[in-house]
Amino acid sequence: MRKGNAVLAILIGGGLIGAAVAQELRKPAGEREWVGKLGGVVPYDLRPPTLERVIAEWWSPEDPRILMPHSFGVGWGVNVGRLVRLASSPPA
């Protein structure tokens, strides 16, 4: 069962990346930004990652979001900085 789930996850991930690339390629060349949302929901960023964007995805304690758009790829990553901030805050 685990192998089947892994294959399914790879197929879904590959399909989402393919959809993001197709969405960008449908735009005129001058309008391609390689960043956006699929179906207005799932974020994607296909630009080369920068250290600043990677850090912002994983460590932004001031940002109220726990799930952040990936700095490269499709979907979300966990804002560990926010989780640490929430865990270390005194109860209200």
Per-residue pLDDT, 89: 81
Q: Are 78 and 67 in contact (CB under 8 A)?
A: yes
CB atoms < 10 A from the CB of 20, how many? 22
| pLDDT tens for each residue of the chain, 92 residues long | 688 899 999 999 999 999 999 999 999 999 999 999 999 999 999 999 999 999 999 999 999 999 999 999 999 999 999 999 999 988 76
DSSP tag of 65: -
β 35-38/67-69 pair status? unpaired
pTM beyond cutoff 0.95: no
Angle at 50 between CA 49 and CA 51, to 5 degrees: 125
- Measured in Å, how far apart are the chain's first and last C-alpha atoms? 43
